């Protein structure tokens, strides 16, 4: 199965997660604070990271932010006792792939892990070529992007949104459709999340982000990609 890093400061919880994951066939390492978790995560030795939000030394939000800033695309599932939507939105915007609120059942967690690993494997198996969208060149399979000035660092969700728009270029894509396909949630974060990402993407794609020619707003619906 997968090699999993669990970053959790509650020792009983961490050991329980380790036992459940090992019983399901995974290899598991533990880290008990944010700094140790970040050091392990950047080693690139893991296929999945279970990341608690409330950690000593460095929060899970900070760990996720720094992982993605270093262009590490290992899937991240955030664990937290918090249930506020704003925390979910922040975690997802920082590049987390899923979000599960404590308390949760072992069966639910294992199902989420399988779904995330399956989506990641599908992404890795597709693509393998550079595609030009406006002034941006992107390789979706390797999460690489560049413009005429050289390599760029895009957020994980920026790649995913752009890839979905590319796969459905010319179609009118609803905001909630993007949230469903990119985040995979039955209960979506605010559709404003998508708008914020589109603003960022236009800066990379468009010659003039204020007068877009490629990522076009379809008023009252969402967006369409002209490439």
Using the 8-state DSSP alphabet, how is residue 107 labeled?
H
pLDDT of residue 189: 60
Q: What pTM, to 2 d.p., does this model score? A: 0.59
Show which of 78, 101, 125 is a domain's final residue: 125
Q: Whole-angstrom Cα distance, residue 44 to residue 40?
A: 8
Token pair recorded at residue 165? 């728009």
Same domain, 21 and 119: yes
Same domain, 19 and 111: yes
Same domain, 119 and 142: no
pLDDT, one tens digit per residue, over 97-127 is 888 888 888 898 899 898 888 877 766 655 4
Phi, psi of 13 (to 5 degrees): -65, -45
Q: Whole-angstrom Cα distance, residue 59 to residue 213?
A: 39
38-62 as b/e: b if 16+ CB within 10 A: bebbeeeebbbbbbbbebeebebbb
pLDDT, one tens digit per residue, over 151-169 is 888 888 899 899 999 989 9
Rg (alpha carbons) of the chain, rounded to whole number: 18
Same domain, 137 and 95: no
Same domain, 72 and 141: no
| Arithmetic mean of pLDDT, 180-204 | 79
CATH number at residue 21: 3.40.50.2300
Show which of 97, 125, 153 is a domain's final residue: 125
Q: Whole-angstrom Cα distance, residue 50 to residue 75?
A: 9
Token pair recorded at residue 45? 């030795």
pLDDT of residue 92: 74
Q: Whole-angstrom Cα distance, residue 65 to residue 50?
A: 14
Same domain, 115 and 137: no
Same domain, 117 and 215: no
Q: What is the mean pLDDT of the chain?
A: 86
pLDDT of residue 125: 57
Tell whether the model's pLDDT for residue 32 goes beyond 80.
yes
Number of CB atoms found within 10 A of residue 172's CB: 12
Same domain, 47 and 80: yes
Same domain, 101 and 138: no
Show which of 80, 104, 125 is a domain's final residue: 125
Same domain, 66 and 145: no
- The total number of structural domains in the chain stands at 2
Q: Which domain holds residue 215?
A: 131-225
Same domain, 11 and 88: yes
CB 167 within 8 A of CB 223: no
Q: Whole-angstrom Cα distance, residue 75 to residue 100?
A: 14
CATH number at residue 175: 1.10.10.10
Tell whether the model's pLDDT for residue 31 goes beyond 90.
yes
pLDDT of residue 133: 93
């Amino acid at each position: 199965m997968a090699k999993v890093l669990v970053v959790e400061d509650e020792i009983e919880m961490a050991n329980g997660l380790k036992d459940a994951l090992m019983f399901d066939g995974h290899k598991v390492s533990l880290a008990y604070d944010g700094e140790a978790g970040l050091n392990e995560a950047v080693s690139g030795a893991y296929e999945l990271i279970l990341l608690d939000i409330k950690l000593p030394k460095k929060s899970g939000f900070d760990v996720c932010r720094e992982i993605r800033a270093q262009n590490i695309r290992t899937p991240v599932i955030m664990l937290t006792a918090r249930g506020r939507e704003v925390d979910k939105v922040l975690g997802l915007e920082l590049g987390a792939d899923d979000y599960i609120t404590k308390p949760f059942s072992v069966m639910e967690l294992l199902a989420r892990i399988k779904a995330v690993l399956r989506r990641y494997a599908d992404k890795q198996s597709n693509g393998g070529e550079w595609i030009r969208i406006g002034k941006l060149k992107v390789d979706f399979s390797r999460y690489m992007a560049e413009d005429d000035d050289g390599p760029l660092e895009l957020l994980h969700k920026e790649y995913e949104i752009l890839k979905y728009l590319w796969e459905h270029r010319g179609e009118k894509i609803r905001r909630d459709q993007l949230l469903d396909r990119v985040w995979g949630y039955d209960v979506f974060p605010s559709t404003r999340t998508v708008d914020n990402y589109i603003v960022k993407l236009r800066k990379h794609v468009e010659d003039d982000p204020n007068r877009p020619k490629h990522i076009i707003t379809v008023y009252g619906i969402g967006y369409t990609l002209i490439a």
